[in-house]
Amino acid sequence: MYRIDVRKLVDEASFNSFHATILVWCLLITAIDGYDLTVTGIALPSIMQQMGVSAVTAGFMTSSALFGMMFGSIFLGTLSDRIGRRRTLAICIFLFSVFTAAAGFTSEPVSFSILRFVAGLGLGGAMPNVIAQMTEYSPKKIRSLVTTIMYSGYGLGAILAAVLGKLLLVDYGWQAVFFAAAPPVVLIPCVLRWMPDSLTHLIANRDDSLLRAIVRRLRPDMDIEKSAVFLQPGDNRTSGVPIARLFQEGRSASTVLFWAAIITGLFMVYSLITWLTKLMAMSGYSLGSALSFVIAMNIGTIVGAIGGGWLADKLHIKWVLVSMYALGSLFLCLMTMKMPTALLYVVMGAVGVCTTGAQIVAYVYCGVFYPTAIRSTGIGMAVGVGRLGAIVAPPLLGMMVALKLPLQQNFLVIAGTGIVAALLFSLIDHSRSASSGTDELRNDALSQTERRTT
């Protein structure tokens, strides 16, 4: 019997048009996800004015989508194990496209929050699945780089939201940018038709005909016998891995540090995503100029995602991450100083590099740290617990905005969380990492950032 090690085959494949197609699809879905996630922050000043809500209420309205994301990342991640990844992605696209657009029809905060919660289920479920898809199909030698390129789609979506905000908000109202979230629903049939399903799912369901077709596209030079049996050896994950195992073999302190660091990192990121437009507008900038700062930050996000992934491959990932968070805090402190507007845009771009960019590298490090058997549990718990920082950030910053404090004080508070995140990551015991000592283990770990990633 001829056996094919699918994991080894993917690891050793050369990047080709098939990989590029998957990258484009995942990048596109990530960009749509990024648009729908950031659109509330873009429109927040207009929403507050039209609905007549306070900054605190606006913060809770924003958190509703983030609360939905927490549940979506858990339940839709599990669903992908049962029905396959592409069907799950189709459900996610439907949820965040339709219900984000539907929020544009609301006129009061309760119905807006309910619809954003449902959209958040799709937003939370999409990202783990596209990350899993990209890591599963990427060649080992470029896996982290390709994954972070895919993740940079988030920044593209956020830039699109800001650009449409500049074009539509003044003349057509905040509803227009929400209605613009609807068109991606037409991609659902395309995803179901052309997106390949998870290799793990196909192997588990013994779908040899589809596996054979995919393998031919991965390795066109390879002859596949009809009697070939597809296996994925080395994947010793078990279902229902106890959370207690995250605290065994000397990992207890590092697991807690991961959770706390991701909480603080997401607090910093979502404080900026939600309130940057409003903070800059309160400081005297026009709505158009305030949105230009959002564009600058998200250009930085793209640079940080790709550059951070490249540096993580070349240098020690832990210290790359610590440096990015520390520099992010420094650049946020610089935002409190008076400087020419053009230079301020540059600093804001650097903030994007070192905040959202750092958060992307943090997810990669989490995937590297845990052994294969408990990797999905480790990632899922870190991201799930860390989501608390994202949920708390909008209303807490909303309270500060309501106090009408100087812009500098708001940025200093956000910068402080970055320093805390850098300190927490620096204390992680990297010697307990599954990747400690060998590049081979490290790259294998990257391939397992699946199911409950983000």
Model confidence over 231-279: pLDDT tens digits? 664 444 444 445 787 888 888 899 999 999 999 999 999 999 999 988 8
d(CA 271, CA 394): 6
pLDDT at 443: 46
Q: Show the tokens assigned to 101.
A: 């657009």
Q: How high is the mean pLDDT of the chain? A: 85
Interhelix angle for 55-83 vs 252-282, to 10°?
130
Can you tell me the distance from the alpha carbon of 162 to that of 114, in angstroms, rounded to the nearest whole number? 24
User: Please, which pLDDT band fits residue 296 given cuts at 50, 70 and 90?
Assistant: very high
Q: What is the pLDDT of residues 86-104, one digit of tens each?
A: 899 999 999 999 999 999 9
Query: Taking 90 as the threshold, does the pLDDT of residue 120 lie above it?
Result: yes
- Tell me the mean pLDDT in the region 433-453: 48
CB 5 within 8 A of CB 240: no
Mean pLDDT confidence for 70-76: 82
For the chain, domain boundaries: 3-234+243-446
* pLDDT on residue 453: 45
CATH code that applies to domain 3-234+243-446: 1.20.1250.20
Which of 135-149, 296-310, 424-438 has the largest mean confidence?
Answer: 296-310
The whole-number average pLDDT for the span 310-337 is 90
Q: Under the phi-then-psi rule, with left for phi > 0, alpha for psi from -120 to 50, and beta for the rest, what region is 22?
A: alpha
SS3 316: coil
* pTM above threshold 0.75: yes
Quick check: 409 pLDDT over 70?
A: yes
Nearest to 277 by CA among 325, 348, 357: 348
Question: Environment class of residue 370 by beta-carbon count within 10 Å: exposed (0-12), middle (13-18) or buried (19+)?
Answer: buried
Instruction: For residue 52, give the 3-state DSSP assignment.
Output: coil
> What pLDDT score does 292 carry?
92
Query: What would the two tokens of residue 320 be?
Result: 């790359």
Q: What is the pLDDT of residue 151?
A: 83
236 Cβ contact partners less than 8 Å away, ≥ 6 residues apart: 372, 373
**Average pLDDT value for residue range 48-54:** 94
Residue 439 has pLDDT above 50, yes or no: no
CA distance to 36, 96, 293, per residue, from 298 (Å):
14, 21, 9
d(CA 292, CA 393): 22
Q: Distance of CA 253 to CAs 373, 428, 435, 446, Å? A: 19, 7, 17, 22
Report the Cα 75 to chain-centroid distance in Å.
17
